[in-house]
């Protein structure tokens, strides 16, 4: 009788431990998947804003007209990324943001504005080189953080 009781108790204990360990492992996997989904959404939002305002600014220079953009949304996208990005990606986001700021100094804030003194398509593309290079570095940092892609891209897509 004692053997049966010990065997039953050991079995129940092992089953309970298995359920607990399984729950912990499942919870960790769900947490990792949730943060990955949040990261992807934040990165998509950031690049979407970048593409939108860059294209709008390019058109404004080509058409010699004013333009407007909700910079609060850009700032919110940067903040969203800062909440979920690993440190390596956050560093590249900062570099990217600084490149965008420098780009805006060249094409909008100084003497070169779409209305007063628009850039030619070639000049605009030249001014966009620093953000384009920072974009490639950021995309590669994101790819490494999400999939261990250490090779990375050698060129930018979009923007």
Share of the chain above pLDDT 90, in %: 63
Domains in the chain: boundaries: 35-147
- pLDDT tens-digit series, residues 64-104: 999 988 899 999 999 999 999 999 999 999 999 999 999 99
3-state helix, strand, coil in the chain (%, to 5): 80, 0, 20
Average pLDDT, the chain: 87
pLDDT at 9 over 80: no
pLDDT at 19 over 90: no
Unique residue bearing structure tokens 């729950």: 23
Share of the chain above pLDDT 70, in %: 82
User: Distance of CA 128 to CAs 77, 154, 155, Å?
Assistant: 20, 17, 14
Give 5: exposed, middle or buried? Use CB within 10 Å, 0-12, 13-18, 19+: exposed
Contact, 76 vs 42, CB < 8 A? no
């Amino acid at each position: 009788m004692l053997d049966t009781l010990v065997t039953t108790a050991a079995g129940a204990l092992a089953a309970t431990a298995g359920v607990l360990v399984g729950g912990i492992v499942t919870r960790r996997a769900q947490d990792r998947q949730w943060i990955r989904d949040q990261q992807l959404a934040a990165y998509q939002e950031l690049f979407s804003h970048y593409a939108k305002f860059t294209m709008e600014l390019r058109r404004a220079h080509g058409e010699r007209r004013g333009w407007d953009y909700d910079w609060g949304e850009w700032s919110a996208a940067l903040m969203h990324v800062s909440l979920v990005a690993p440190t390596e990606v956050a560093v590249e986001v900062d570099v990217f943001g600084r490149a965008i700021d420098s780009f805006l100094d060249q094409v909008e804030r100084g003497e070169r504005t779409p209305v007063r003194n628009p850039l030619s398509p070639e000049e605009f593309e030249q001014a966009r080189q620093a953000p384009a290079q920072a974009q490639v570095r950021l995309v590669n940092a994101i790819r490494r953080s999400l999939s261990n892609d250490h090779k990375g891209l050698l060129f930018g897509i979009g923007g």
